[in-house]
Structure 1
Amino acid sequence: MRRSCKSCGKNIEEKPDDCICEGATIEYCEKCQKEKEAEEEKRKALELKTLDEQIRARFVCCKCKSKNARVKRISTTGDGFSRLMNFQNNVFLVVSCCNCGYVELYDPVILENKSDRWAIFDLLFGN
């Protein structure tokens, strides 16, 4: 049975072996099916609740290509008065590759598009 791909229009031939369920049909060619699955995976990653979860879901190590990561938040002091008082007002996301240990630092204020005026509330009431 011949059909055309819903996405690109390419002719695809349906073979009896291709269908697992009775009455199931193939709607996309292999290339479009892979692209559709990749888009669905990205969409699911964006639906995750926290920035930490989004980073963990999208992580690919630039050194070893592993997809397993550990995400932690750390606080550090700044310079001047905050250093003198050991006032840890700078927060960073630390993303570590579980395979090779490579580490990346991210500024969540930039990633979450928070304005600086809310920083005092985060400081007083937590993130």
Structure 2
Amino acid sequence: MQRQYVCPKCGGTQYDSDQFQATGGNFAKIFNVQNKRFITITCTQCGYTELYRSQTSTGMNVLDFLLS
């Protein structure tokens, strides 16, 4: 079941979705391990953006560490 998006700021119904990763904690900052992942939903009418935390796998965190 898919829900229709409605912007809480302007009431717009069109959006763009993207994702980004960030570091969290001192160990992750020292070794530049991006172990936090977020999904963004941005209203195309007014630009209001919501962030949602996404799960990261241990395997991807190890791979990110090895490639840094």
Q: TM-score range by the shorter chain?
A: 0.7 to 0.9
Q: Secondary structure at the match of 1:58?
A: coil
TM superposition shift of 1:80: 0.6
Amino acid at match of 1:63: K
In structure 1, the residue matched to 2:37 is: 91
In structure 2, the residue matched to 1:120 is: 58
Aligned counterpart for 2:53 among listed residues 107, 114, 119: 107
The percentage of counterpart residues that share the same residue type is: 29
Larger Rg: 1
In structure 1, the residue matched to 2:4 is: 58
Q: Name the structure where helix makes up a greater proportion of residues.
A: 1
Alpha carbon RMSD of aligned pairs, Å? 1.9
Superposition map of 1:33-44 within 5 A:
43=1
Gaps of 5+ in 1: 1-42, 46-56, 110-117
- With the length of structure 2 as denominator, give the TM-score of the two structures: 0.78
TM superposition shift of 1:62: 0.3
Q: Secondary structure at the match of 2:47?
A: coil
Q: State whether structure 2 residue 16 is matched by structure 1 residue 70.
A: yes
Which has the higher relative contact order, 1 or 2, with Cα contacts under 8 A spaced 6 or more apart? 2
- With the length of structure 1 as denominator, give the TM-score of the two structures: 0.44
Superposition map of 1:26-37 within 5 A:
none
In structure 1, the residue matched to 2:66 is: none
For 1:106 and 1:58, the matched residues in 2 are separated by 17
TM superposition shift of 1:58: 2.5
